[in-house]
Structure 1
Amino acid sequence: MNEILKMSMNEMAEADFDCSCGRHHSLSIKKIAIGKGVIQQLPDIAAEFKGKQLYMISDNNTWKAAGEQAFKILSDSNFEVKSHQFETGTEILIPDELAMGRMLLEMPLGTALIVAVGSGTLNDMAKYLSSRTGIPYIIVCTAPSMDGYVADGAPLICNGRKISYVATLAYGVVGDTDIMKQAPMHMIHAGLGDVLGKLTALTDWSLAVAMIDEYRCETCVKLVEEALRKCIEFAPALKERNEEAILYLIEALTLTGVTMAIVGVSRPASGSEHLLSHYWEMDFIARHKYPELHGVKVGIATPIVAEIYQLLDDELPPETKALAPQREVVEALLESAGAMISPKEVGIDRDLFYRSLMEANTVRKRYSVFQYAKDKGRLEEIAGIITERIYGK
């Protein structure tokens, strides 16, 4: 029982066990390879599909980062691979109806395996395509920027709104630290922001347990807490692209993805900080502006949510109060890695910020500290205090 707590990250593929939470957990991912030089394992990971059609997707940036290398490794091992690269220029790839349609149009007949080379957007697009076609996919990670590599949700843009579609888990995950440590520092900062968001996500989960008796798996909580501990310890070394720090970052991101997969909900990794990030992103997209990276926004949102908990300190259930992080601590961790901490730095004006605090609880049907503050009649007061601290009177 709970033998997953003793496993290394790469041993967790196809985990299957009875948990102390009373449920049976399993992970359908067949292969996980995270570490130095693991891109060379691609032919072994894809061995089941030898002699069949492979379809590789990337963009012009991820092709240079790892796509060209992955294509050569597979081609040299006599795999049949068709590659499609999205040309994004200086802009970012938006996972909307146009991009999804183009990806489907380029897919050759008889495709047996999709190989996505990228991070958040390309991974989400690949897993959605995989879920709708029944064709498995492998993700070759190019940046330690988010936790969705082993999650089954696919946040996509449909009709201008960000919608998290139920998708599928990857067949295999390849996270080569030699590649990921060369990622743009902005994307490394995004990964750190996404990891630190687990501090408030776990607090929200505790609050939901106390207030509405929501199910929680303590094994998943322990896995996330251990991943957080290692990543936080090495956070200052990220700005130097320290290989050990990058390894702990991608392991933390992957591990929180594993917990989401085995527990069947995103609670271990996503809370009020994600509601804020999604609200900001939808506003930007509605105004035809490119939003900041998801993890960067989550990182900025996390100390704000921590501050909400601090302002509610005297009213919190004891177990939730014990978990709640301090705003100053979270901001110090972000600053130690050189990451942004203010919503003003990513173009969020006072009006949008205030509205997001007042309306974030409407983004998803999920109990959160926003709902708790609203039920206590304190949301408007708290929104005013935090807005004034950041933007002035």
Structure 2
Amino acid sequence: MTTWTSQMDSLIAPAVARSEVTDEVVVGASVLTQAGALVRRMTALPRVLICADETGFEAAGRPVVRSLEAAGFPVQTHILPINPLPKASVEEAESFRAMLADDPDLFPVSVGSGVINDLAKYAAYRTDRRYVSVATAASMDGYTSAGAPLAENGFKVTIPTRAPIAMLADLDIIAAAPAEMNGWGYGDLAGKVPAGGDWILADALGVEPIDDVAWPMVQDHLAGWLAGHDGVKSGDRDSVARLFTGLTAVGFAMEAHGSSRPASGADHQIAHMWEMEGLTDQGEKVSHGAAVSVGCVVSLALFDWLLGQDLSLLNIDSVLNRTPDLATREAHLSEVIADHKIAEKAKEELAAKHAPPDIHAARLRALREGWPALRDRLAAHLYRHDTMAEMLQQAGAPAYAEQIGVSPDHLRTTMQAAAFIRRRYTIFDLLHDIGQFEAAIAAVMPTLTTSDLVAEL
């Protein structure tokens, strides 16, 4: 198996060289002491603002502050409480943004995991500042990405921002992070499997071609990154380092492609619905990675169903005659998305991707004629949903909706709603295009709501 250190040289270093934004990535053991020198190389601003929450600052904040002070920086800290947990929202980022706006001499340094990184990234972008990210867990893929997935007025979108000018990750800190956090990162990385399947569909039907740069950065290495599930749960440093390398590469792939397509498909649409709802389980907010982990299994179950169909026999005229028009779909959208603000934004996304009859017919012809080859291509790429569920569990990530407090009825509604919230073509849209959306959901629900694995927890 390729080592994470060799991939840092063969994959991450070229990505940094190609990046128009990120100048340096430092990953290794006991590297927090390098934070001050790293920031000194990145900015001429005289002072530093540490952006963190209580958990991130407890994990790495003090040695980062000491290193910055040793490099000659006066340091201010702005530490968000963790009760309640910080929200991934534009509104939550406002306190960071305001402090930077009030003092043009402050250089932001994010110390924490996913939400804090995204809040600092957004605040830095809004104040036309570069920033350095100090990662504290292998919990998500956004450290090196150019977008910040934040809720704005309640609707979660990936806001175009800038990737960090540098990122530092101390493997001693990351391996010691709570096992569930690195499990969430494993779930986020696992989601690239069905996301890749979604991109294969979009490519085959002429909706969005696969990017020859971004695709291999993720998909050529994904199986190896996912192979270390046992070590992720136990905190084995090499396994966690391999996971973190994969997440870092995904971030660079998103930057190279200019969108989150290399990392996000129907799995993330499901997760975003739960995040916008403010889903909690046993009184705690369900993390992004946990939601994506479950969304990954749901998406793969839909792909399992799809691969069992013979679409070379598709009756195109019958499908076209039964396809609901845009107004009918908007009415259904309003039924499954209760929040008015979210529903209105979702209608914009639906209108942007709704295919007129001629385009719909062309897609169906391409699907019918190319199905044997497309089915083989998908089958070679995807994992079966039950196989992936077992891998996720072994990595310490949830795999089934019950594990994050989602009932079967709630799961069904989520799938129906998630199909509307992004214009990106995914398996949801393919199932709609062939007139089998509800049939596929009904078929997979029994496999997603009963599991011996769930009973064992």
TM-score, scaled relative to structure 2? 0.78
> Secondary structure at 1:15's aligned position in 2?
helix
Identical aligned residues as a percent: 27
1:11 equivalenced with 2:13 (yes/no): yes
1-structure distance, mates of 2:280, 2:384 = 33
- The aligned residue for residue 116 of structure 2 is 122
> Secondary structure at 1:266's aligned position in 2?
coil
Q: Choose 80-89 or 43-52, whichever is displaced more.
A: 43-52
1:283-331 superposed Cα distances (whole Å, 9 cap, x missing partner): 23699x8641111111111121111111111335232343232112211
**Contact 2:146/2:163, CA 8 A, preserved across alignment:** yes
2-structure distance, mates of 1:158, 1:176 = 32
Q: Pick one of 320, 333, 347 that aligns with 2:405.
A: 347
> Secondary structure at 1:352's aligned position in 2?
helix
1:9 deviates by 4.9
1:275 deviates by 0.8
1-structure distance, mates of 2:114, 2:389 = 24
Paired residues, what number? 378
**Contact 2:17/2:23, CA 8 A, preserved across alignment:** no
1:263-293 superposed Cα distances (whole Å, 9 cap, x missing partner): 2121211111111111122123699x86411
2:14 partner letter: M
2-structure distance, mates of 1:336, 1:192 = 10
1:328 equivalenced with 2:386 (yes/no): yes
1:144-164 superposed Cα distances (whole Å, 9 cap, x missing partner): 000000111112222222232
Q: How well do the aligned residues superpose, as a CA RMSD in angstroms?
A: 2.3
Map 1:125-144 to 2 at 5 A: 125-144=119-138
**Contact 1:9/1:32, CA 8 A, preserved across alignment:** no
1:172-201 superposed Cα distances (whole Å, 9 cap, x missing partner): 111111111111111111000011111111
Map 1:65-80 to 2 at 5 A: 65-80=59-74
**Contact 2:140/2:289, CA 8 A, preserved across alignment:** yes
1-structure distance, mates of 2:259, 2:155 = 21
**Contact 1:53/1:80, CA 8 A, preserved across alignment:** yes
Unaligned runs of 5+ in 2: 1-6, 312-370, 451-457
1:33 equivalenced with 2:26 (yes/no): yes
**Contact 1:116/1:122, CA 8 A, preserved across alignment:** yes
1:5-54 superposed Cα distances (whole Å, 9 cap, x missing partner): 994355236423xxxxxxxxx44201111121222221232124356121
1-structure distance, mates of 2:90, 2:396 = 35
1-structure distance, mates of 2:180, 2:437 = 32
**Contact 1:94/1:121, CA 8 A, preserved across alignment:** yes
- The aligned residue for residue 216 of structure 2 is 222
Q: Pick one of 140, 143, 162 that aligns with 1:168.
A: 162
1-structure distance, mates of 2:94, 2:298 = 37
Unaligned runs of 5+ in 1: 17-25
2-structure distance, mates of 1:231, 1:97 = 32
> Secondary structure at 2:274's aligned position in 1?
helix
1-structure distance, mates of 2:80, 2:193 = 35
1:111 deviates by 2.8
2-structure distance, mates of 1:13, 1:53 = 29
**Contact 2:53/2:82, CA 8 A, preserved across alignment:** yes
2-structure distance, mates of 1:335, 1:391 = 15
2-structure distance, mates of 1:97, 1:372 = 32
Change (3 A) 1:155 1:37: same
Rg (Cα) greater in structure: 2
**Contact 2:290/2:398, CA 8 A, preserved across alignment:** yes
1:238-280 superposed Cα distances (whole Å, 9 cap, x missing partner): 1221000010010000001111111212121111111111112
Q: Choose 330-339 or 313-322, whichever is displaced more.
A: 313-322
> Secondary structure at 1:209's aligned position in 2?
helix
1:328-371 superposed Cα distances (whole Å, 9 cap, x missing partner): 22112112223221111111122221112222121111100000
Change (3 A) 1:285 1:348: closer
TM-score, scaled relative to structure 1? 0.90
Q: Pick one of 32, 35, 42 that aligns with 2:35.
A: 42
1-structure distance, mates of 2:90, 2:253 = 29
